[in-house]
Amino acid sequence: MIGAAAIAAGALLAAGLYLMLSRDVQRVAIGFLLLSNGVNLFVLTASGMPAGAAPPLIPEDPAAALARPTADPLAQAFILTAIVIGFGMAAFLLAMAADIHRRNGRDQPPGRSDA
């Protein structure tokens, strides 16, 4: 499972980087989304998950909670914060791309040649 997630994270990072090197602003915005999702998946994969881990909830018997492994909530909280920030940045980038397209009539920022 961790190997598949690592491969998926690598594919998302590679596709995001490829799209960010494009001239079109919309492709750059989509590349940013893929790159941020790839980083989030990488952090989640790197945080690891012990076999048989449970959410860190407080059960009725505290001694039983100490006997079983629990998942680390810090990585999950970090990723949730990164997702919210990524959505805000994506909205800003897509609004900027729409404004550039409205002003120039094309998807490239001014000053960039077609060659």
The CA–CA distances, whole Å, from 86 to 19, 29, 35, 58, 91 equal 16, 11, 10, 31, 9
Domains, the chain:
2-50+71-104 (1.10.287.3510)
pTM: 0.74
- Per-residue pLDDT, averaged over 27-51, amounts to 87
**Confidence band of 110 (pLDDT split at 50, 70, 90):** low
